[in-house]
A and B are shown apart, each in its own frame.
Chain A
């Protein structure tokens, strides 16, 4: 797929576009089947606004195929290029700074996180855990957001350090799980559900491909590392550490 091809021929491009669209239709098909089945057979109701739904489905298919094409052209190469450039520079400080900043910057403004933090603050206020009033709610929500963003930054940092040093992932993850279990026992009940969910909302659709490319890129460059064994795991840290930090934040605030 070289862009420098002098004899410009449109046929291969059309073939690629067609294949991407077909893949996207396949990806979307299960949702359509499930919704149609429950709507028509179980609930026995007609599909409302069929035109709108079909138009939406068309947008989803186009969007998904564009996204996948952009992934291969943009996000993966840039993640790998950054991994290579940073590894070649040979400065552990800059590599770790980049890792932390990547985790922090992509999380702190994440809309899903802002929504969850706000909701959590309102629940805590209703439950009498923090003072009621807009100011207290806002400062609690901000604190929650910051602890999640810092924890994701640290997670990517630890994950990258693991790839460089070649630490086996299971000790770190199991250790993290044990910590989560212990904290669940002592943390206030109101924060536990939110802490568990916080792990899930931190990994956005743009961050995941970039972080995966970074990890795999590093593991392929560093001698003695296997991209499959060592390259993955960054996302796992990014979903584990926020749980620990959010419960820790709850303990700090409520006690």
Chain B
């Protein structure tokens, strides 16, 4: 059994080495995706164009403006003396936010009275606006705690919708999901194609006439892809650590265990799909759709599961990435052990077992 599996694995690796397109896709795609998504899929807001209306002209007002600018989030674009002049700035997009310091500001502080700062926001992009608002609140709160009351006045009706805690960098949240996404898509596509290719070329018929059992064929065939996908996973996490400062706080061992369970499920799904398709073209499409869409949309990678409509929340329970991402965030970001994420791990094991069983049954029957 071992020899036959080994023969299959060696053959598969040799073919993978010759097929530079597939090999390149398996190893290079994760890196490209990580770079694209890592930089593009950021909910952080930087370089916010800030206009200042300082009616106080005092030291206290200048200090306040300075704290905004030194926070690193804001870039000063204009200082004006009249709130009426703000409108053209917002209309043209020259300013995204404005800080209005009332004339009585310095006196109020000196007299120990409550004073008011006005923060005006362009709310046309509600997500960005709510993020900026979060920054502003933080900065004001850090000035002299309890001293100021912040009043927000969005000129366009903004409905704040807070997705991620704005003071956390969003890449830290996104990277675990990204790793899950990349691994699922590449393993499912690679394994589906690897099996369907044999069918399309006619070599499957010859394989079936040899003593090679269906289970040996499956193990031998998927083992190389498990290997390559594990390499991809390691590369993705290393790159995320180097480029986006995503730390791996938890145990590498647990991380590996979780990843392998998750990959086994993806491989099983790929093999299952391969029993449904006769041509590589069809196989590629069903593999891409069935791995990419659920992992992108229904896993909590980008859109939080709790904010989905009820039917989608129910469906998300059969998306393995949901559990993997949840567990990955716990392990990678918080560094906590299995006592916290054991139920996610269990769900992954269950998913893997069911899918591999289905794949084996289908393969034995269809081969």
Is B a genuine binding partner of A?
no
Interface, chain B (partner A; CB < 8 A): none
